[in-house]
Amino acid sequence: MLAQEIRDNLSKFPHCLLLTRVGNFYESYFEQAIEISQILNIKLASRRWGGGRVPMCGFPLQHIDKYLKIMIQQHKRFVAMCEEFPKYTSPGEREFERRVVRVITPGTLIDESFLNQYENNYLLAISVPSLGGDSTGDFALGLAWIDVSTGEFYSKRSSYESLRDDIARIGPQEIVLNKNLETQNSHPAMNAVTEESNVVSFVLPSHSADKSNQNPPWTPSEAVSTSEASNTSVPVATKVTDEIISAPSTPFVYTPEETSAIDLLTTYLRANLLEHMPPLSLPYCEDVGGRMQIDSHTIRALEIRENMREGGVRGSLMSSVKRTITTSGTRLLARWLCSPSTSIQEINARQSLVAFLHSRPHFRADLLVLLAKAEDAGRIVQKFLLGKGDPSDLLALTSTVNIWSEIQWRVSHEREMESLEQRSLAAPEWASLDMLMNRMNNLQDLAQRISLAVEAPTSSHLDELQGPSFEVNEEDSDLNADTNPLRAEWRYGRMKFGIKIRPEFSATLLELNNNLKHLWEQKVKMEERLQFKYDAPSLTLRSSPGQGMHVHLGKAKRDQRKMNADSDFVSISETGTTRCYFFQDWAQLGQRIFATSVALVTAEKEAFETLRRNARVLDELDVTLAFAQLAADMNLVKPSIQEDVTYNVVNGRHPTVELGLLTSGRVFTPNTVALTPSSHLHVITGPNMAGKSTFLRQTALIAILAQSGSFVPADAATLGIVDKLFSRVGAKDDLFHDRSTFMVEMLETAEILRRATPRSLVIMDEVGRGTTVKDGTALAFATIHHLVSVNRCRTLFATHFHELSEMLGHTDGMTSGQGVFKNVAFYCTAVDEQENGSFSYSYRLRPGVNRDSHGLKVAQLAGMPQSAIEVAQNVLTALKSNTTEAYNNELASIGQRFATWN
């Protein structure tokens, strides 16, 4: 029996490693046992089966998380979990049913111990219109992504051009594509998803598969079908994010591309989560124009999430600014940093709250103490929805909701204290906090009722929900739990959740539960009455997808005589031993049970959504508290956000570098930058190691912090909204894709020149340094020419090609170029040399051009032999002697010749 079950499951899940529960062990057999024993480095044994011996291996239950981490995270394998369920056939005898209840993949982790609590674990689905379709359309693709462990669900339109950036920003652990793309290796979507060696899975969407045994992705009232969306003349993605949504029932209209991606994602989830498939909320439509677009190279180069050299969090922007207390708040912080807002209203609301909390250090400290006690409510609620909640989660949720109440009380108390100090309660500074706290649903009432909110179901409740006639058996195999609302309601209360919302949670739930209980009592009485009246002990009232509400006779030959003679019973099917009838009274009662069950499921789902929405509010409070604490710790200032394209920062600092210097007892040298419509491209020259790259990066990071809602490291800052942020700094080769360092530089440069807009911010470092001086100078000049005349964006351009200054029309005593390059300004760093031959870097930018890169000084600092340094100095002197004024005049002439080139 066991061997056949394993063989059946191996054939059903050929792409997975199968682990079968046998008592207190998870075991593997046949050919897979050899592979699993090698992957896990455990002993390979054998077992006698069917007259021979077969390979086997196994491990105790308590080691499951350790070995899942090895298989899933290290080896990127999928694991099918086959659990055992006891069946009591007769007194004293017990058999087991074994079935796969879930397939664990990198993107479908729920509560595994190796799940990173500080990061989202996203599963991303990408819909492609057609294999031969246009790959240049602005919105040719649909994206849908979900964190199964938290229930956060999003969708948006995308394009082939921005797909890599979306993938880098979302950071999915697994990507799902249409099965039809599996062999299309040259398809642009395939090229994008394999760029970073993502785990890629393939599935046929539900509209391409047999739907007979599948649920819709959402309830019918919420669904937006592909056909309906396609008939929308002007598809609109509602502008809403998880931070500002008011209710889960907000009506969305999904574009056909989004609908296809959502369909692809939910199909994949159903195929893998199986019995742990949760009810899904509507995905939040991410507004394409509502977030700063940061390209994939920039996310890595600016080290927003992780250190580019070591791969860890240390040294990243995230680690430098993180002051969040909760794990869920930390996840929200990462999303804000990778997707800063472009809405001035949203940015100002966040910054106003940061300013409010920053000005009240004692109040801020009290809130931080309370938040430190809170659990990850979002993931706890999702565990309940996935059927994995336990009493410890209940205690954690109860404690957290009580903390929510304490926070609200502390806010109210702060108001009272300020009132006693005769401050105006109508002060605008309170508006930001009021706006946030008002989004919490019935917080005080919820705290009073939280001990009633969730419970472990009793055996009597299970019996009540299940009913003896709703058991699945051999002769009623069409009674599918996923398609039958009555069975689904029982499964919702028993198998899906394990722990359920108590009726006392709300008046609606109480009324629905009472109604359902009353209807079940009517059903039991009707069943008993019919059994007695028609002398039919095997009579039961049942429901199935194929036959609807029907009367079932388990022993038809014995019990059918009186029923056949009654015209109220219409025979609809029969077998050798059973018979089914349509009976109007039961059909009407069953329909009422059905409607009440659906309403109860909806009400319980809304109760969980209430908890989840409150958790989101506390996440946002955590992040804004963190920004306020950061501002106090690092002496940050509130920036002014404008609709124009200015960028004016006085004495700006690099947040990560400054923190590193402070820990070693050193002080960061700040710099000022003013990018304006009349001076929107700055050429920066100067020595190696003098801070050019740091200055470029800090300029970009300040924009990210400002539009995330944070204060910024500067004395003052006025910033125009940045729609897209690009960088070309710190390239390295990509041998896997057969790209040299210079090829990587040119790919990044080409992407910037194609995509940057007048509202964008671009930082570029050493364009053209990977080739000859003449080729590099030509490419650098062409890049600046295009940025000035075509893109017209705000740009910082650092270079060692000081010849560019002459080509751009710079002359001594002038701070900007001439002619078409009049919007180009020139700044430089320098080396301070001492009489004794020592030197130091000033790190301070000043107007002008520095024509000496001081590369020999860096070589000397690196420990290059003195004899080699002397040779290099002599060669450099000889080369410089050939530089003439005529050569500079020739460069200026070349620059002017191509200044008007189109």
Residues 643-666 have pLDDT tens digits of 999 999 999 999 999 998 988 889
pLDDT in the model for residue 478 = 34
Least confident of 92-96, 224-228, 619-623, 831-835: 224-228
pLDDT in tens, 442-493: 545 554 555 555 554 444 443 333 333 333 333 333 333 333 333 333 332 3
Predicted confidence at residue 252, as pLDDT, reads 55
Question: Residue 886: what pLDDT?
Answer: 64
Residue 499: predicted pLDDT: 47
CATH topology of domain 2-104: MutS, DNA mismatch repair protein, domain I (3.40.1170)
Q: Could you read off the pLDDT of 715-728 as tens digits, one per residue? A: 999 999 999 999 99
CA atoms in the 13 A half-sphere facing the CB of 165 = 23
Kindly give, in sequence order, each residue whose CB lies less than 8 Å from that of residue 143, ignoring residues fewer than 6 positions away: 124, 125, 126, 127, 154, 155, 156, 157, 158, 166, 170, 258, 261
Please state the pTM of the whole predicted model. 0.79
At 553-585, the pLDDT tens digits run: 999 999 999 999 999 999 998 888 899 999 999
CATH number belonging to domain 640-897: 3.40.50.300
Residue 730 CA, chain-centre distance (Å), reads 27
Mean per-residue pLDDT over the chain, rounded: 81
- CATH dotted code for 122-296: 3.30.420.110
- What are the tokens at 698? 């800090």
Percent of residues, the chain, with pLDDT higher than 90? 43
* pLDDT digit string, tens, across residues 495-504: 333 445 666 6
Residue 140, pLDDT > 90, answer no
Topology alike, domains 122-296 and 459-607: no
Give 697-717 as a DSSP string.
HHHHHHHHHHHHT--BSSSEE
Quote the CA–CA distance of 593 and 589 in Å, as a whole number: 6
Instruction: Please report the pLDDT score of residue 208 as a whole number.
Output: 54
- The correct answer on CATH 3.40.50.300 for the domain covering 459-607 is no
Q: Over the range 633-646, which residues count as b (16 or more CB within 10 Å of their CB) and which as e?
A: ebebbbbebeeebb
CA distances in angstroms from 542 to 15, 221, 475, 591, 593, listed in the order given: 37, 26, 12, 12, 12
CATH architecture type of domain 324-329+339-451+610-634: Orthogonal Bundle (1.10)
Task: Give the amino acid at 96.
Answer: F
Identify the pLDDT of residue 883: 56
CA–CA separation, 451 and 443 (whole Å): 14
The span from the CA of 755 to the CA of 765, in Å, is 18
Grade residue 783 by pLDDT with cuts at 50, 70 and 90.
very high
pLDDT band at 422 (very low <50, low <70, confident <90, very high): low
CA torsion sign, 259 to 261 to 262 to 266?
A: positive
pLDDT band at 865 (very low <50, low <70, confident <90, very high): confident
**Burial group, residue 563, by CB count within 10 angstroms (0-12, 13-18, 19+):** buried
Question: Per residue in 369-379, pLDDT tens?
Answer: 999 999 998 88
Average pLDDT (591-610) is 79
Q: Domain limits of the chain?
A: 2-104, 122-296, 324-329+339-451+610-634, 459-607, 640-897
